Structure 1
Amino acid sequence: MAVLALGVFAVGTGEFVLAGLLPMLVEAFEISVAGAGQIVTVFALTCAVSAPVLTALTAVWRRRTVLVMATVIYLLGAVGTALAGSYGQILAAQIVAAAGVGLFIPNASVTAATLVAPRLQGRAIALVVTGFTAAVAFGAPIGTALGGLLDWRATMWFTAALAVIGLVGVWVLVPEHLHVPSAGGLRAQLRPLGDRRVLLLLVTTLVAFTAVFVPYTYIGVIYAPATGGSGVALAVLMLTGGIAGAVGNLAAGFLTDRLGGARVVTIALSWLTAGLLVVPLAVGHFGAALAVVGFYVVGAFAITTPQQHRLIGLRPDATPIVISLNQSVLYLAIAMSGLVGGAGIELLGSRYVSLVAAALALLALGASLCAQRLMRPTSASGAGV
């Protein structure tokens, strides 16, 4: 299980470090901030599309083969980015890297859930998702610091090195003959969208993570008064949020096994909303910013595990499908966060853009409760699903 988390950490670092590299790319290739931001958008959209498509194409493969191939694809993209000589080459290389990420992360979660008893699935998924939060907590700040000390290419070589370590770990430690039930081709992959309960859970993920990533995407802008434009201060802020996110995710895993996914999502979204509402009061002081970021990120990263657990419990016959769809929607949310956050900053200013995110978190809570209500008549455990 730990090796799956390591793999997620490796590929996730390459994704989240992009936000810290954007100023360097603007300078290196003489492009606009908006143009540099499109790298993040293209990466996220590629992940969103590749997760269900590549999962369908590899549905009957052994899990180790799928995970190894995904890591190799990501590694090729990371190396291609490090060697890129133009903005267009970076975009092309990041599309390749994103395809690997889109295939790896949902299959890592499915593999983890397959390796344990049903009563431990929440904790297993949480351990894998910890790699995702660790990428935010440690990988992205380290990569950003490397870029500042050396250059952005050094950061991409760092992410490539992490991918090599993850590749070796998956090859050695994931059981060779492990399979998960195949759900068929792409049409079958999309069939769960006809289930209103699945659709509402995916809407919950979409809106919730748009709320989560609005303040993350624009963290440097929002907290510029607190950090004074210091890259080191910003890295500390990101590190604090990442550590808090890891704590929230692990806690969510244990609570999901005890309380059920629906209740944990309700708690997490309520927590997130409360934290986002007080962000405007903390943007001018670094200590206050650390405290507020540490608070609301606990709720932000406590959403993923119970959402995946709910989907597995709802459609155990289509576990790989619903997990890949959920991951696709999460990446679509990352792409949307840039657009929504940018519009919010234009409308309200960077100090108050978190209020837009808070409104989205409330909408996500409403969608989650609606899904819970629909699930109640057909679920033996009711709200605990």
Structure 2
Amino acid sequence: MDKRLFVLALGMFALGTDSFVVAGVLPKISESFQITPGLAGQLTTAYAIAYALLSPTIAALAASVPRKKLMLSGLAVFVLANLATAAAPTFFLALLTRVFAGLGAAMYAPTATGTGALIVAPEHRGKALTIIVAGLTAATALGSPMGTVIGGLGDWRWTMVFVSVIGLLAAIGIAVLLKQVPLPAKVSFRARIAPLSDARVGLTLATTLLAMAGNFVIYTYFSVVFDRVLTSTALFGALLVLWGSGGTVTNIVLSRLLDKFGPREVLLVMLSVLVVDMALVPWASAHLWSSVLAIAVWGIAGWGIMGPQQYRLVNIAPQIAPVVLGLNTAATYLGVTAAGVLGAAGLQVLGGHKLGFFSVLLFALAIVASELATRRIAGREAAAAAAA
């Protein structure tokens, strides 16, 4: 593998680990600051909302900044912000540092993805993008569990140091291995959000937001939902590995399923499986064997959402595929943001063990949004066929 792609993926691994690892050390953070788990979960919310809102903004405003300089600057902000989180004496300051970590991630992620496509031959761009995005998948399967174990064996603050070290290694790799990268064509902020006026795109993005919120309502408060079976740090880490590994299983089979059945059918099956699985979580989470089964199904189906969504968006707007895929990433992290807030409310209303019912509602709404998007897409195709 091209070493340059590896270091770009390593940076994405750091960003992804930072997104997911708070869930693994939530009890430690809650205890450290003497706050509720729901309030502690807002550390994920602050990072995710900064990441989501600033990514398209920075991509437009910093279009003329050299790619290498922008990525190194983003990773520098990211590393320093995570070290600041580790040193934060109060929850408010920790929350503030998470916003700056999200800023660093927003500077790095879209730039790294675009750079990966520019530094390889056109016929290898798909592979390059797959390798870079795989860094995020690996973060759920490896980064978050490793951070959880580090925090469990010591202090949660060492988990944030761990994330900073990964980001620093990625920055060193980019500084050494990556030469100057040609600037891509400039796309204005208005052009980046223009696809939102298309109902097909808007409804598809709404599906992503709702589905990701359904996933992360449970993931953000994993330690509360499954507290009846989490008897050790090692087991906690193993269950997180199980959930993240579902993405690997899904990626292996998803391309064939999409080509054979189409995105609408695959997405409908995945969301329907999630509705049933989350409805059973209040009971499944009481026993280890049933928790393992529920988490495995959740991981496979939950990670099966992004492929169909990306497939659908590229088919809707192939000429501006990077723009709509960027919007889909923003919708993903807005979903994570919503999950932190809604999950905190759900803890108060339903309690941790029944939080799965909240996910059921969100996944059901995602099905509705997806079916509405399907109707709009079919209507536009029928109109185009009639005009031809």
Structure 1 length-normalised TM: 0.86
What residue in structure 2 maps to residue 321 of structure 1? 323
The residue number in structure 2 matching 1:200 is 203
Is residue 330 from structure 1 mapped to residue 332 from structure 2 by the alignment? yes
| Alpha-carbon displacement from aligned partner over 1:46-73 (angstroms, at most 9, x marks no partner) | 1121112111112344544443332222
Match of 2:234? Answer: 232
**1:116 offset after TM fit, Å?**
7.0
How far did 1:211 drift? 0.7
Instruction: Decide which moves more: 71-80 or 27-36.
Output: 27-36
Q: Is the 8 A contact 2:83 2:164 kept in 1?
A: yes
Is residue 2:204 matched to residue 1:209? no
Residue correspondences, number:
378
TM-superposed deviation, 1:151: 1.6
> What is residue 156 of structure 1 aligned with on the other side?
160
93-102 vs 129-138, greater mean Cα deviation: 129-138
1:18 & 1:359 partners in 2: Cα distance? 24
**Residue 127 of structure 1: CA displacement?**
3.9
2:34 is aligned with 1:21? no
Does residue 58 (structure 1) correspond to residue 62 (structure 2)? The answer is yes
- Percent identical among aligned pairs is 33
CA contact (8 A) 2:79 2:164 kept: yes
Taking the aligned partners of 1:170 and 1:104, their CA distance within structure 2 comes to 12
- Secondary structure, in 3 states, of the residue corresponding to 2:371? helix
Report the CA distance between 1:286 and its aligned residue: 0.8
In the alignment, the residues of structure 2 paired with residue 68 and residue 24 of structure 1 have an alpha-carbon distance, to the nearest angstrom, of 31
Shift of 1:298: 0.7
Q: Deviations over 1:271-321 (max 9, x none)?
A: 323322332331111122112101121111122233234323333443443
Distance in 2 between the 1:116 and 1:290 partners?
43
Residue 34 of structure 2 corresponds to residue 30 of structure 1: yes
Q: Distance in 2 between matches of 1:102 and 1:95?
A: 10
Q: Cα gap change, 1:32/1:281 in structure 2, threshold over 3 Å: closer, same or farther? A: closer
1:51–1:325 Cα contact (<8 Å) kept:
no
User: 1:133-182 CA deviation, whole Å, 9 max, x = no partner?
Assistant: 22122111211211222222221221111012222334455563244432
Unmatched 5+ stretches in structure 2:
none
**1:224-273 deviation per Cα after TM superposition (whole angstroms, max 9, x unaligned):** 12224x33322221111111223224433554466554444333323323
Q: Is 2:313–2:325's contact at 8 Å kept on the other side of the alignment?
A: yes
- The more displaced of 254-263 and 10-19 is 254-263
Alignment partner of 1:71 is 2:75: yes
SS in 2 for 1:227: coil
- Normalising by the residue count of structure 2, what TM-score does the alignment of the two structures yield? 0.86
Provide the residue aligned with 1:310 in structure 2. Answer: 312
Preserved contact between residue 38 and residue 343 of structure 2 (Cα < 8 Å): no
Is the alpha carbon distance of 1:197 and 1:180 closer, same or farther for their aligned partners in structure 2, counting shifts above 3 Å? farther
Using the TM superposition, give the Cα deviation of residue 366 of structure 1 relative to its aligned residue in structure 2, in angstroms: 2.4
**Amino acid in structure 1 at the alignment position of 2:314:** I
Question: What is aligned with 1:241?
Answer: 243
193-202 or 126-135: bigger deviation: 126-135
- Give the match for residue 342 of structure 2: 340
CA distance in 2 between partners of 1:11 and 1:297 (Å) = 20
Q: Distance in 1 between matches of 2:375 and 2:313?
A: 15
1:182 corresponding residue in structure 2: 186
Q: Name the counterpart of 1:294.
A: 296
Could you say if the C-alpha distance between residues 252 and 164 of structure 1 is closer, same or farther in structure 2, counting changes exceeding 3 Å?
Answer: farther
Distance in 2 separating the partners of 1:70 and 1:181: 20
In the alignment, structure 1 residue 49 sits paired with structure 2 residue 53: yes
C-alpha spacing 1:178/1:319, structure 2 compared with 1 (3 Å): farther
The match for 2:224 among 200, 221, 224 is 221
AA matched with 1:194:
S
Per-residue deviation, 1:117 = 5.7
Instruction: Give the one of 8, 29, 46 matched to 2:12.
Output: 8
CA RMSD of aligned residues (A): 2.9
**Structure 1 residue 91, shift from structure 2 partner:** 2.2
1: CA distance, partners of 2:130 / 2:273: 19
Distance 1:255 1:238, change over 3 A: same
Q: Is the 8 Å Cα contact of residues 25 and 152 (structure 1) preserved in structure 2?
A: yes
Residues 88-122 of structure 1: per-residue CA shift (max 9 Å, x gap): 3322222111112233334444455665768974x
Contact 2:82 2:97 (8 Å CA) reproduced = yes
The farther-off stretch of 93-102 and 362-371 is 362-371
1-side partners of 2:73 and 2:225: how far apart? 38
Distance 1:107 1:273 in 2: 35
In the aligned structure 2, how far is the partner of 1:258 from the partner of 1:166?
38
Distance in 2, Cα, partners of 1:120 & 1:362 = 35
Task: State the one-letter code of the partner of 1:332.
Answer: L
Change beyond 3 A, Cα 1:190–1:18: same
Which blocks of at least 5 consecutive residues in structure 1 are unaligned? none
Q: Does 1:191 align with 2:194?
A: yes
1:316–1:58 CA distance, 2 compared to 1 (3 A): farther
Q: Are 2:208 and 1:166 aligned?
A: no
Distance in 2 between the 1:20 and 1:306 partners?
28
